[in-house]
């Protein structure tokens, strides 16, 4: 039972990592209908900034946080301006943005890989204590607890942003009906920029939380991109809570699969979960069908 509970708690924390990437996808997708394939790489770039500031320069944690968030925002806005907007401006351009965001993600990965060179993967120090905290029969590492807490805070803040601010309301309006929103004076390009900036913020904060868990690992961009996508599809496209729920379900599922079945087939298990959910509920666990009255 103790092992099972440990797997559930650890899976929840790892699932939150996936959920954070899925949140980034959701924030951008809701406002632009663009599925930003570079989201995982934005997170990875933030993680590498944390590594450089903390491990190489030994700067304070605040610098790592600021660096990760700042870098993610800059890269995300750059992507929106240079890569995505060209496709959003043109009618009937199909899914050109899909390839464009994939290309942008590969550009980020290649540049960072060359900058990082062939150094060994290294741990990124956390400001939290190393030793685990006992919670009943199980214990949890503070850095994992921080991931869960960060995820909860980000979700709450996003919910407040969408419901209580004018920009958030405009983004929701654009998501629900872009044409009607545009007729009411909401500037689509401004919404697009804001969405990407928000995606960058989520990626940056997520990176700061993820860095002490994942370490300086360049391949995590691809890993988290895929896991985040599965989490998003399982939880439901467009739903903030669904993104997190999908991530947690995937994280716990992976941990239990590793514990009781065979870790070699972990990815297969994730994809099987995705297929199962999509067959039973095509909109995902917390997704909903969108109806438009005409």
Partner 1 sequence: MRSRSIRTGRHALGAVAGGLALTLVLAACGSSPSSKPQPSAVSHAPAIPAGPIKVGALFSLTGAFAQTGLITQATYQAIIAHLNAAGGIADHQVQLVALNDQGNPAVAVSQAERLVADHVAAVVYPGLAITDRQTVPVFMKSHIPVVTLAPSDQWANGKEWPYYFDAYPLNKPTMATLVAFGKARGITKLGVLGDSTPFSQSLMADLVPSARQAHLPIVATAAYTPTSTDMTVQLQQLRSAGANGIALLAETGMTHVHQDLLAMGWHPTILTTADAFFDGYSSLGALAPNTYANCGIGVKPGQALPPAVSTLMQTVAAKIHITIPGNSGIIFINNTMLILAYAIEHAHSLNGNAIASAIESIHGVSFTAPQYSYTFTASNHDGWTANAVHMCRLVPLGPQGLPILATP
Residues listed for the chain? 294
Stretch of 8-16, 76-84, 176-184, 230-238 lying at the interface with partner 1 (CB under 8 A): 8-16
Which residue is listed with tokens 């939150």?
Answer: 16
According to the binding rule CB under 8 A, does residue 131 interact with partner 1? yes
Provide the terminal-to-terminal Cα distance of the chain, rounded to the nearest Å: 54
Interface with partner 1 (CB under 8 A), residue from 198, 218, 243, 244 = 218
**In contact, 216 and 51? CB cutoff 8 Å:** yes
Stretch of 26-34, 89-97, 187-195, 212-220 lying at the interface with partner 1 (CB under 8 A): 212-220
Identify the H or E element spanning 81.
none
Stretch of 61-69, 73-81, 140-148, 234-242 lying at the interface with partner 1 (CB under 8 A): 140-148
Q: For 44, phi and psi rounded to 5 degrees?
A: -60, -40
**Residue 61 corresponds to which tokens in the numbers above?**
């944690």
Binding mask 96-115 for partner 1 (x = CB under 8 A): -----------------x--
Is beta strand 133-135 parallel, antiparallel or unpaired with respect to 138-140? Answer: antiparallel
Interface with partner 1 (CB under 8 A), residue from 205, 220, 234, 244 = 220
**In contact, 124 and 211? CB cutoff 8 Å:** yes
Shortest Cβ distance from residue 130 to partner 1 (Å)?
5
Site for partner 1 in 265-284 (CB under 8 A): 266-267
Which class for 26: exposed (0-12), middle (13-18), buried (19 or more C-beta within 10 A)?
A: buried
According to the binding rule CB under 8 A, does residue 184 interact with partner 1? no
**Residue 115 corresponds to which tokens in the numbers above?**
């900058």
CB nearer to partner 1: give 174 or 216: 216
Shortest Cβ distance from residue 202 to partner 1 (Å)?
19
**Residue 126 corresponds to which tokens in the numbers above?**
């956390």
- Binding-site ranges for partner 1 (CB under 8 A): 2-3, 6-7, 10, 13-14, 17, 113, 117-123, 130-132, 139, 141, 143-144, 213-215, 218-220, 222-223, 255, 258-259, 262-264, 266-267
């Amino acid at each position: 039972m103790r092992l099972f509970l440990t797997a559930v708690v650890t899976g929840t924390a790892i699932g939150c990592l996936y959920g954070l990437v899925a949140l980034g996808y959701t924030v951008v997708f809701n406002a632009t209908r663009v599925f930003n394939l570079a989201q995982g790489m934005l997170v990875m770039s933030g993680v590498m900034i944390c590594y450089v500031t903390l491990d190489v320069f030994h700067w304070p944690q605040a610098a790592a946080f600021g660096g990760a968030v700042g870098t993610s925002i800059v890269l995300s806005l750059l992507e929106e301006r240079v890569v995505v907007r060209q496709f959003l401006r043109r009618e009937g351009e199909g899914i050109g943005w899909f390839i464009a965001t994939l290309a942008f993600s590969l550009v980020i990965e290649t540049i960072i890989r060359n900058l990082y060179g062939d150094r060994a993967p290294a741990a990124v120090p956390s400001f939290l204590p190393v030793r685990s905290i006992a919670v009943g029969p199980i214990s949890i590492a503070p850095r994992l607890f921080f991931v869960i807490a960060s995820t909860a805070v980000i979700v709450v803040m996003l919910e407040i942003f969408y419901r209580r601010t004018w920009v958030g309301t405009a983004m929701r309006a654009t998501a629900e009906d872009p044409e009607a929103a545009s007729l009411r004076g909401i500037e689509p390009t401004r919404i697009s920029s804001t969405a990407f900036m928000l995606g960058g913020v989520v990626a940056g904060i997520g990176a700061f939380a993820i860095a002490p868990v994942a370490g300086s690992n360049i391949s995590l961009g691809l890993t988290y991109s895929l896991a985040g996508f599965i989490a998003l599809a399982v939880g439901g496209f467009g739903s903030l809570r669904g993104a997190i729920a999908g991530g947690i379900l995937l994280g716990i599922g992976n941990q239990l699969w590793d514990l009781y079945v065979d870790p070699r087939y972990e990815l297969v298990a994730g994809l099987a979960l995705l297929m199962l959910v999509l067959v039973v509920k095509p909109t995902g666990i917390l997704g909903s069908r969108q109806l438009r009255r005409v």
